[in-house]
Structure 1
Amino acid sequence: MSDNNREGKRSARERLREERRREQTREKRKRSLLVGVAAVAVLALAGGIGVAVTQLGGKDGDGPVVAPTGANGEDSLAIPVGRAGAPSTLTVYEDFRCPACAQFEHGFRDTIRELEDKGRLRTQYHLVTIIDGNMGGSGSLNAANAAACAQDARKFRDYHDVLYRNQPQEQDDAFADKKRLIKLAGQVKGLDTAGFRACVNEGSHDGWVRKATTAFNGSGHQGTPTVLLNGKNVYADQQNPLTPDKLRKRVEDAAKKA
């Protein structure tokens, strides 16, 4: 066979292979187009369903807004601790990743719990996610959701305190790990149940936490912790800083006048 014949056959084979590649490419494009059209149809349907759920379920941004059991206040954005009708109310805006919030808790926790147990004080906790927004991550959100799940089990106070006792460094987004949050629940008697685990893993109260954060951002308060006693900001006064003894005296004085 001459070199010319061999070259002609190779060229023919190459043209045939090239034609097959082109045909395969056309078929892939057709399949992709069909899949794309189907996907658009599914998304359109899902979008219609999503609007309905939003209207019926009251969503706020991402996910349905499901308040934990017993939440109160405007839009049910606060978790109460202490006797209803107590002479004084302490309103606390906190972020579980916030070092200053941990400092406040470590300094004031025993006094606050003592006054709650005496029926002198009712504390309203608002859980927000400022550190997630500033530094990235999801530890503030996941920890707040887990605390709301503990509220469903009527064990918020104890779990709240456990989280602050085990707060990681601010740069360490360790509370993003839901397994860690569940493990910490083992320090609260009776909290680590199937229901609590499901609530944590599914982020059942994520939408509620996001709504609480949106409300805080629009409140005019400057950061966490923000602490109000009977509606007055008592923690940010640098000229007359609050101490546990001052808090106790103000609450006890209010109880005497009640």
Structure 2
Amino acid sequence: MSQKNSDGKRSARERLQEQRRIEESRAKRKRTLIAAVVVVAVLGAGAGIAALVANSGKKKQGTGASGPLVAPQSAMGKDNLAIPVGESGAKATLTVYEDFRCPACGQFENGYRETVNDLEKKGQLKAEYHIVTLIDKNLGGTGSLNAANAAACAQDAGMFKAYHDTLYMNQPQETDDQFAKKSRLLELADKVKGLNTGEFKGCVDNGTHNSWVKKSQQTFSASAYKATPTVLLNGKSIYADPSNPLTPAKLREMVAGAQKG
């Protein structure tokens, strides 16, 4: 083979190798570019999904059945559905599920108010009120809802118990949906000194705590409790012994027993 032909073949091989290196380099850059685009796309999609999930979570946390879920001041317990009354250190806890339109709830409140208030003042008993709307659900109307919202507004003002008691002392007949009228709820607020302010009126008129009340009813409906009032002392029904009916004296004995326990 002539030197010229040998040099020509070597030159051709070198050119081919060089071309391969160029093509491999181009392919490598292309693969790198594609990988980068994919990563960016995945990250972007992930960020979008994360933002969607985060926003969805915030919406669920911050909204109720209609509008923002606003719990009243100092509400406590699961989902902040309980309004506390009395000293937190009391050994006996009265848990009450009630409806301001419910006649039996009125009978309990009006029959045991003095006993409960006295035990609370002595630091022996604290209460946790869960306000529901069972009568609205069963009979129609909005009196249970509007009264519950107004009571929550009174809690914001630090006057829940006084207004709560006023509502029961002026409870209409079950079929008379007086509490649906916000003007009536404001009129009753005048019986509690210092309550009927512009802030309270706005809270009542705007239904500020309506979704909180609806959440309370939803939770009650999903529970094992089906009637109002449901009244528990340290988790046990105070009506558990039909052969020994509840009386104010018996309630005091039960609370005294809880002190020892």
TM-score over 0.5 for the pair: yes
Q: Give the TM-score category using the shorter length.
A: 0.7 to 0.9
CA contact (8 A) 1:147 1:159 kept: yes
For normalisation by structure 1, the TM-score amounts to 0.77
Does 1:97 find its partner at 2:97? no
The alignment covers a number of residue pairs equal to 208
Give the aligned residue type for 2:243.
Q
CA distance in 2 between partners of 1:114 and 1:91 (Å): 17
Q: Which residue of structure 2 lines up, in the alignment, with residue 136 of structure 1? A: 140
Q: 1:53 & 1:202 partners in 2: Cα distance?
A: 26
Aligned to 2:183, what secondary structure does the other structure show?
helix
The C-alpha deviation readout for 1:27-62, integer Å capped at 9, x for no partner, is: xxxxxxxxxxxxxxxxxxxxxxxx879717521222
From 84, 92, 111, the equivalent of 1:88 is 92
**Percent identity of the aligned residues?**
59
Matched residue, 1:196: 200
- Contact 1:57–1:64 under 8 Å retained in 2: no
1:239 aligns with 2:212: no
After superposition, give the CA deviation of every residue in 1:180-211 in whole Å (9 maximum; x if it has no partner). Answer: 10110000011010000000000000000000
Which stretches in structure 2 are left out of the alignment for 5+ residues? 1-54
Question: 1:111 is matched with which residue?
Answer: 115
Partner of 1:156: 160
Quote how far apart the aligned CAs of 1:132 are: 0.2
Moved over 3 A (4+): 51-54
Superposition TM-score, scaled by structure 2 size: 0.76
Given the superposition, is the C-alpha separation of residues 53 and 198 from structure 1 closer, same or farther in structure 2, using an over 3 Å criterion? farther
Distance 1:150 1:97 in 2: 18
Aligned equivalents of 1:67, 1:230: Cα separation in 2: 24
For 1:68, what is the secondary structure of its paired residue?
A: coil
Contact kept in structure 2, 1:111 and 1:248, CA below 8 Å: yes
CA deviation profile, 1:150-182 (whole Å, cap 9, x unmatched): 000000000000000000110000000001101
What are the ranges of 5 or more consecutive residues in structure 1 without an aligned counterpart? 1-50
Matching of residue 180 in structure 1 with residue 184 in structure 2: yes
User: CA separation in 1, counterparts of 2:57 and 2:176?
Assistant: 36
- On the 8 A contact 1:93/1:128 being kept in 2, the answer is yes
- Give the counterpart of 2:63 among 59, 64, 69: 59
Tell me whether 1:165 sits opposite 2:165 in the alignment. Answer: no
Return closer, same or farther for 1:236/1:129 CA change in 2, 3 Å cut-off.
Answer: farther
Residues in 2 aligned to 1:193 and 1:236: alpha-carbon distance in whole angstroms: 42
Q: Which one-letter code corresponds to 2:64 in the other structure?
A: D
